[in-house]
Structure 1
């Protein structure tokens, strides 16, 4: 009897090991870390999120089936803990993106590149936020100001640029590491290079932590060659 119980326990533990969708959880972790650390909104990981949602549904179905089948509650709790972990990562990833949309909504709407990074649900959210914000400002502030100051994007109609639109701080410093050896990384912009007498190329060894301004490496982050932490 003891032998049979022990065999069942080992079998259930092995099932738990195969239950954990590590192949997609790790990419989700990377997407979550990058989104949390990047000052701007990154391209939406549509295919990854779609697979994760399918896996979450499968995990929920498995937990429900095991609960009905009288599986050891300890094993079921392990399944539930793993499900909670995946759900937390997905929710935090989406929440980070929505927070950036709320903060930089007008800037995102001005940029075709950034707007193209949104999911369909995020586009709907952005349109609704823009409508609500404009209505709020019109009713509470702008309608009470002179006509020259009723623009939500500019300080006055004489302003040549949209100087009331918050922009993400692309020159903020981030902690990052590369997945491979990278060389000839240009950390200075054209104006800084013109004023510098000596231009030193920057190299990154794989898996070595660096603290660098985000702007020079943004394309490497978007291409997946550099991860943010």
Structure 2
């Protein structure tokens, strides 16, 4: 309770009714006034929570990412920047939830997930299927009861949302790159190769630089 009271008075305007040592462990660990108020057992508990989280992130998430992402997130965890890590994981989970059917049937994406994320994806798919079948699909004609297709006559899974790779993104190259094939603009221009100077900002179709982003040569901003 002392942690909750301290945060309520020290960080005005934020509701900390669900405050706990586990939730604010990084903040507590790097704040001497809070750390010194913990008992010996509470300090051991806090350190154990931090180490468990680090291990979980490294085994289930960080090891699946490009090396440049790994170094940034590892540094974030080590320095106690838990808000950044939580934000990253929250966005990652949201994307999995949004595109779970597409991820499940696409080997390239499925193999990027950790064991826990695969279990989470499968659970989400089963939960959504059950919900749709019980609340909607069971009440429709048999030809329209598919979760993935509009009807049995559909040639593909036309009810499965997919990421929009033709979205334009702001990016910056880490090195001089040439031979980039543009995927947007007039048809005549798509045969032209594009160059990127290191450190220069570009607003470009994601599909054109997808492989370079995944290899760590280009950063999205």
Structure 2 length-normalised TM? 0.65
Structure 1 position 201, deviation (Å): 2.0
Deviations along 1:34-54, one digit per CA (max 9) or x if unpaired, are xxxxxxxxx9328838x839x
Q: With CA pairs under 8 Å and 6+ residues apart, which has the higher RCO, 1 or 2?
A: 1
Deviations along 1:47-95, one digit per CA (max 9) or x if unpaired, are 838x839x85xx6xxxxxxxxxxxxxxxxxxxxxx52xx2111111111
Tell me the secondary structure at the aligned position of residue 167 of structure 1: coil
Tell me the secondary structure at the aligned position of residue 133 of structure 1: helix
Tell me the secondary structure at the aligned position of residue 163 of structure 1: coil
**Superposition RMSD on alpha carbons, in Å?**
2.6
Say if 1:144 and 1:220 are closer, same or farther in 2 by CA, change over 3 A: same
Which one has a larger percent helix, Structure 1 or Structure 2? Answer: 1
1:87 matched to 2:87? The reply is no
Deviations along 1:99-143, one digit per CA (max 9) or x if unpaired, are 101111111111011101111111111011011100100100000
Tell me the secondary structure at the aligned position of residue 184 of structure 1: strand
Unaligned runs of 5+ in 1: 1-15, 17-42, 60-81
CA distance in 2, matches of 1:197, 1:89: 40
- The answer to whether the 8 Å contact 1:46/1:119 transfers is no
Structure 1 position 175, deviation (Å): 0.3
1:102 matched to 2:97? The reply is yes
CA distance in 1, matches of 2:135, 2:160: 19
- The answer to whether the 8 Å contact 2:66/2:215 transfers is no
Count of residue pairs brought into register by the alignment:
157
Partner of 2:65: 45
- The answer to whether the 8 Å contact 2:169/2:203 transfers is yes
Return the match for 2:118 from 89, 113, 123.
123
Say if 1:210 and 1:197 are closer, same or farther in 2 by CA, change over 3 A: closer
Return the match for 2:215 from 220, 223, 227.
223
Structure 1 position 188, deviation (Å): 2.9
Say if 1:197 and 1:127 are closer, same or farther in 2 by CA, change over 3 A: closer
CA distance in 1, matches of 2:165, 2:189: 25
